[in-house]
Amino acid sequence: MKKLVKIEVDKNLYFLNQINNFLDPTYIYLPTSNKEFKENDYIYKNMLIEENISSISGSIKSIKNSILQIKNDYKENSVSNKIKRNIKNKEDLLNLLEEFHLLSLKDKIENKDITHLIVSAIDEECYSLKEFMILANFYSDIASTLNTLLKTFNIKEGIIATKNTSEASIKNIKSILGTYPQIKLSLVPNQYLISREVYLCSYLNMPLDSTLILTMQDVLDITNALKGKYTLDTIITISGNNLGKSLIINVRIGTLLKEVINKFIEIKENDYDIYVNGLLQGYKVSNFNVIITKDIHTIVINKKIEVFQDECINCGACIKICPLNINVKKCFIEKRYSKKCIGCGLCNYICPANLPLKEVVKDGAYEEKNN
């Protein structure tokens, strides 16, 4: 197993301990391919629109490019009945996940013979604090749901894994472990990619094939479903060296990032770069017209820097650092992508010539040929 690396972070941007709420956006935006929707149709909170749940109630203001713009009427008119659910076995859990439209979670669980369970509070991207903040703030719910899942899968012991630097969540979770003797806390080193199944199972000495690893967001989604609720909000970290201060914000899913920025964020200089989902694995966008979905966990707003690309100097650093042992330099020169690449961004991070290696090897930004 390749040795993982520690990424240095700017600690001034990192230490945050409070979640701000922004649960009353003026509009939310939901994609749909349903042509029957028209302007002024009424949308209820908790209404399922194909893959998405409406997080507010209100009327459709416009439909552009198959995206509904829904204007909040702040009435919270809801179609949900909030009846608590009980689950006794895996089948009940799968039905619950189906009912609450947690389909990727259902897929993850459905065909796996589960003997071990890890709930991970490890954020992969350096400036994301989503998983950490969920554990720090909802530790009681997380432990209770983990306890239910252990019974559901008939597993004797469950692990909550968090970085050994996550002081706030460690303190909180330790305070309730006495109530749940079957839950153990495992502290892992602050190394990049340690949250990936293969590395985490190896570090915790768990079988890869039969260990289910859930994120804190997964467990929060199940907690909500057990309470008869959809997950309508998501936590994002907004950070970067061009901000007055970094913030963690709980927002309604479907909110436009622009509205969040206007309300909460003080931007210092006018020239900046915006990255969605972090500097290593994320992508750059040109403006704040980004719809916040559950998949978005981090926004980084940094002062603009001109990056000059040089010729490859054959230093070999990209090959040495790649956790998948890909010959990154060769792929880049030959403009080939690799199916093995996990898009971790370490090659870009290390390259002294500032070459867009990941963009070629993972994303196939040039001519695509299988490796």
Which region, judged by CB under 6 A, interacts with ligand SF4, from 24-32, 45-53, 252-260, 341-349? 341-349
Distance, in Å, from the CA atom of 284 to the CA atom of 307, rounded to the nearest integer, reads: 14
Question: Would you say 58 or 323 has its CB closer to ligand SF4?
Answer: 323
Report which secondary-structure segment, H or E, holds 29: strand 27-31
Query: In whole angstroms, what is the distance from residue 318 CA to residue 347 CA?
Result: 5
DSSP 8-class letter at 6: P
Out of 70, 318, 336, 337, which residue is the one contacting ligand SF4 (CB under 6 A)? Answer: 318
Fill in the per-residue mask, 345 to 364: x = in contact with ligand SF4 (CB under 6 A), - = not in contact. Answer: xxx--xxxx-x-xx--xx--
Out of 196, 249, 317, 336, the residue judged to bind ligand SF4 by CB under 6 A = 317
Q: CB of 318 within 8 A of CB of 351?
A: yes
Q: Which of residues 165-204 bind ligand SF4 (CB under 6 A)?
A: none
Kindly state the tokens that stand for 351: 């390259």
Q: Tell me which H or E stretch contains 185.
A: strand 183-188
Q: Which is nearer to ligand SF4, 230 or 349 (CB)?
A: 349
Separation between Cα atoms, residue 220 and residue 230, nearest integer Å: 10
> Could you tell me the two tokens for 350?
């290390």
Q: How many residues bind ligand SF4 (CB under 6 A)?
A: 30
Query: Could you tell me the CA-to-CA distances from 44 to 70, 76, 87, 255 in Å, in that order?
Result: 10, 8, 27, 16
105 binding ligand SF4? (CB under 6 A): no
> 118, 206 in Cβ contact below 8 A?
yes
- Using CA atoms, how far residue 341 sits from 1, 4, 249, 314, 318, in Å, is 16, 16, 31, 20, 13
Q: Which of 53, 105, 322, 336 binds ligand SF4 (CB under 6 A)?
A: 322
Nearest distance from C-beta of residue 4 to ligand SF4, angstroms: 12
Residue 334 CB, nearest approach to ligand SF4 (Å)? 12
Structure tokens, 238: 């907004």
CB of 300 to ligand SF4, least distance (A): 18
Is there binding between residue 344 and ligand SF4 (CB under 6 A)?
Answer: yes
* CB closer to ligand SF4 out of 216 and 317: 317
Nearest approach in angstroms of CB 164 to ligand SF4 is 24
- Quote the CA–CA distance of 219 and 199 in Å, as a whole number: 21
CA 253 to chain centre: 13
- Under the criterion CB under 6 A, does residue 220 sit at the interface with ligand SF4? no
Separation of alpha carbons 140 and 246, rounded Å: 26
Nearer to ligand SF4 among residue 68 and residue 322 (C-beta):
322
Interface pick for ligand SF4 out of 208, 267, 305, 315 (rule CB under 6 A) = 315
Tokens standing for residue 262: 């206007």
- Distance in angstroms (rounded) separating the CA atoms of residues 254 and 249: 14
Beta strand 116-120 with 158-163 is: parallel
130 binds ligand SF4 (CB under 6 A): no
314 binds ligand SF4 (CB under 6 A): yes
DSSP state of 243: B
| Minimum distance, C-beta of residue 366 to ligand SF4, in the bound complex (Å) | 14
Contact between 342 and ligand SF4 per CB under 6 A: yes
CB closer to ligand SF4 out of 201 and 361: 361
3-state secondary structure at position 119: strand
> Looking at beta carbons only, is 71 or 196 nearer to ligand SF4?
196
Contact pick of 277, 326, 336, 337 for ligand SF4 (by CB under 6 A): 326
244 counts as binding ligand SF4 under rule CB under 6 A: no
Spatial distance between the Cα atoms of 10 and 240, rounded to a whole number of angstroms:
9
CB nearer to ligand SF4: pick between 261 and 361:
361
Binding site for ligand SF4 (CB under 6 A): 312-318, 322-324, 326, 328-329, 332, 341-347, 350-353, 355, 357-358, 361-362
